[in-house]
């Protein structure tokens, strides 16, 4: 980055006007790490140096960067129909996309509402839960049960559900009426790759919430099947099944937030299928367009959709919710092209096939003295590093050094989160592991 300012390619932009999200702004601007270009498995910095994308962007881009098929579909769409109001008007591609997504979802979960980000998907799903219960005459069901160490985005509903104190402590009160179960991380299952054998009983925390609040006051239980952003906490065997049973027994809706897991990350289209547990709603985003255009969605079980529809008077709007950019034609075109790519190239099956190679490579790092735990499932893994005394500082340094050494991935606190693209080869996995090994070793 220390190139002469007169080079037109390498000159740094004036950065003072942009307030960056989830970034230490002052530190970043003093020593920025910019991506100028991307192709397939690599980002390139302004000097043209390749950086292997070990995070699929931000879990968004499993099919690799700048795919011609998506770029062409977006270009065609912009020339044909650039925008349609989503209220009282619609365009054919969004119906086609909803049908295609319904075809990937578990049986019965096939009514799709489009939004623009994972955060919007979460808040939309919360409203659907509340509207469903009201429509059935159970307006008292307003409490949500989620989990410690959950991440459900940054809108008010999602922040309230999330179990990350930093995301709410600067903002005072958010939405009230959320009860948090314990996270599923367990000391006894350190270094277990895949689903831990023990810990299903942690789902009984939902029973504890029922005892405290009364089932008749609880709208839904919201969980990420694998808690992704806070360090890849894989559900213990039997845990999600138990949550499902408790929800069913008590009339509580079960929501899977699959913003990270959806579209192949666990080796099936959705984690619901990988784990064999069908929730009542699924939120999805990120890989829906391979990261090319912002888009997200909520899939609701048909009975939820029909209950809300049937409760409204004939001719009335049934669900007073939606966004200007819901089902944007360009996003729909990008999503359809992405689903075509996933299907044509068998990318979910490829993720499934590559997973054992990936997980074994990650597990091989356990001998490094700074590494305190490794977890993983499908094409996502987390590596915990010992804190240097100030939580998060070592993780921050790690992701910066990794980028300098040619590997992009996200860290949360002192955990490195790996989410390779499904188009990685075994050689890319090996290279990623090598860079991780040498960089972690250099930290301590």
Residue with Cβ nearer ligand PLP (45 or 224): 224
Helix H segments across 85-185? 92-104, 118-135, 156-161
Q: Is the dihedral of CA 51, 53, 55, 58 positive or negative?
A: positive
Residue with tokens 């005072």: 172
- For position 153 contacting ligand PLP by CB under 6 A, the verdict is yes
Binding mask 257-276 for ligand PLP (x = CB under 6 A): x-xx----------------
| Cα–chain center distance at 20 | 20
Residue with Cβ nearer ligand PLP (257 or 414): 257
> Shortest Cβ distance from residue 378 to ligand PLP (Å)?
15
Residue with tokens 């992704």: 228
- For position 151 contacting ligand PLP by CB under 6 A, the verdict is yes
- For position 53 contacting ligand PLP by CB under 6 A, the verdict is no
Residue with Cβ nearer ligand PLP (122 or 143): 122
> Shortest Cβ distance from residue 168 to ligand PLP (Å)?
14
Residue with Cβ nearer ligand PLP (210 or 270): 270
> Shortest Cβ distance from residue 274 to ligand PLP (Å)?
15
Binder among 148, 224, 280, 414 for ligand PLP (CB under 6 A) = 224
Tokens of 292: 């090319």
Binding mask 107-146 for ligand PLP (x = CB under 6 A): ----------xxx--x------------------------
Residue with Cβ nearer ligand PLP (291 or 329): 291
> Shortest Cβ distance from residue 141 to ligand PLP (Å)?
22
Residue 170 has phi, psi (to 5 degrees) of -85, -5
Residue with Cβ nearer ligand PLP (226 or 365): 226
The CA radius of gyration of the chain, in Å to the nearest whole number, is 22
Residue with Cβ nearer ligand PLP (64 or 153): 153
CA distance 176 to 158: 11
All residues at 6 or more sequence positions from 204 whose CB lies less than 8 Å from its CB, including other chains? 242, 246
For the chain, the maximum distance between any two Cα atoms, rounded to a whole number of angstroms, is: 68
- For position 106 contacting ligand PLP by CB under 6 A, the verdict is no
Q: By beta-carbon distance, which residue lies closest to ligand PLP?
A: 118
- For position 299 contacting ligand PLP by CB under 6 A, the verdict is no
Binder among 285, 365, 416, 429 for ligand PLP (CB under 6 A) = 285
3-state secondary structure of 129: helix
Tokens of 370: 């700074």
CA distance 365 to 440: 9
| Cα–chain center distance at 195 | 19
- For position 379 contacting ligand PLP by CB under 6 A, the verdict is no
Going by C-alpha positions, the residue among 416, 428, 43, 424 that lies closest to residue 228 is 416
Residue with Cβ nearer ligand PLP (152 or 428): 152
Stretch that binds ligand PLP, among 197-205, 256-264, 343-351, 373-381 (CB under 6 A): 256-264
- For position 152 contacting ligand PLP by CB under 6 A, the verdict is yes
CA distance 296 to 115: 5
Going by C-alpha positions, the residue among 229, 248, 243 that lies closest to residue 410 is 229
Q: Compute the C-alpha angle 420/350/227, nearest 5°.
A: 45
Q: Compute the C-alpha angle 227/186/189, nearest 5°.
A: 100
Residue 237 has phi, psi (to 5 degrees) of -55, 135
Cβ atoms 93, 333 nearer than 8 A: yes
Residue with Cβ nearer ligand PLP (229 or 307): 229
Residue with Cβ nearer ligand PLP (118 or 199): 118
Stretch that binds ligand PLP, among 48-56, 78-86, 148-156, 334-342 (CB under 6 A): 148-156
Q: Where along the sequence are the contacts to ligand PLP (CB under 6 A)?
A: 117-119, 122, 151-153, 224, 228-229, 257, 259-260, 285
């Amino acid at each position: 980055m220390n190139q002469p300012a007169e080079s037109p390619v390498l000159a740094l932009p004036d950065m003072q006007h942009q307030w960056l999200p989830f970034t230490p702004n002052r530190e970043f601007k003093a020593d920025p790490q910019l991506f100028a270009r991307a192709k397939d498995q690599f980002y390139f910095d302004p000097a043209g140096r390749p950086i292997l994308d070990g995070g699929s962007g931000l879990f968004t881009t499993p099919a690799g960067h700048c795919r011609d098929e998506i770029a062409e579909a977006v270009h065609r769409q912009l020339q044909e129909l650039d925008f349609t109001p989503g209220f009282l008007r619609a365009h054919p591609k969004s119906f086609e996309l909803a049908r295609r997504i319904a075809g990937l979802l578990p049986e019965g979960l096939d009514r799709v509402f489009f939004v623009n980000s994972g955060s919007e998907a979460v808040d939309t799903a919360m409203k659907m839960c509340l509207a469903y219960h009201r429509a059935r005459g159970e307006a008292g069901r307003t409490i949500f049960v989620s989990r410690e160490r959950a991440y459900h985005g940054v809108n008010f509903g999602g922040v309230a559900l999330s179990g990350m104190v930093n995301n709410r402590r600067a903002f005072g009160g958010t939405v009230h009426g959320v009860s948090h179960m314990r996270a599923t991380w367990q000391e006894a299952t350190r270094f277990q790759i895949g689903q831990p054998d023990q810990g299903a009983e942690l789902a009984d925390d939902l029973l504890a919430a029922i005892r405290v609040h009364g089932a008749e006051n609880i709208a839904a239980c919201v969980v990420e099947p694998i808690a992704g952003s806070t360090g890849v906490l894989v559900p213990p065997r039997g845990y999600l099944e138990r949550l499902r049973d408790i929800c069913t027994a008590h009339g509580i809706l079960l929501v899977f937030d699959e913003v990270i897991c959806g579209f192949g990350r666990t080796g099936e289209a959705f984690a619901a299928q990988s784990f064999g547990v069908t929730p009542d709603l699924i939120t999805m985003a990120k890989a829906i367009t391979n990261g090319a255009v912002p888009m997200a969605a909520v899939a609701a079980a048909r009975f939820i959709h029909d209950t809300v529809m049937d409760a409204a008077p004939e001719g009335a709007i049934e669900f007073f919710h939606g966004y200007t950019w819901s089902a944007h034609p360009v996003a729909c075109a990008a999503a359809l092209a992405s689903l075509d790519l996933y299907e044509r190239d068998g990318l979910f099956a490829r993720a499934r096939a590559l997973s054992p190679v990936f997980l074994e490579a990650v597990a091989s790092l356990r001998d490094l003295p700074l590494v305190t735990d490794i977890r993983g499932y499908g094409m996502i893994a987390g590596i915990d590093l010992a804190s240097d005394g100030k939580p998060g500082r070592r993780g921050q340094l790690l992701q910066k050094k990794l980028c300098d050494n040619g590997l992009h991935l996200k860290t949360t606190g002192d955990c490195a989160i790996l989410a390779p693209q499904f188009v990685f080869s075994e050689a890319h996995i090996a290279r990623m592991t090598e860079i991780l090994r040498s960089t972690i070793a250099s930290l301590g």
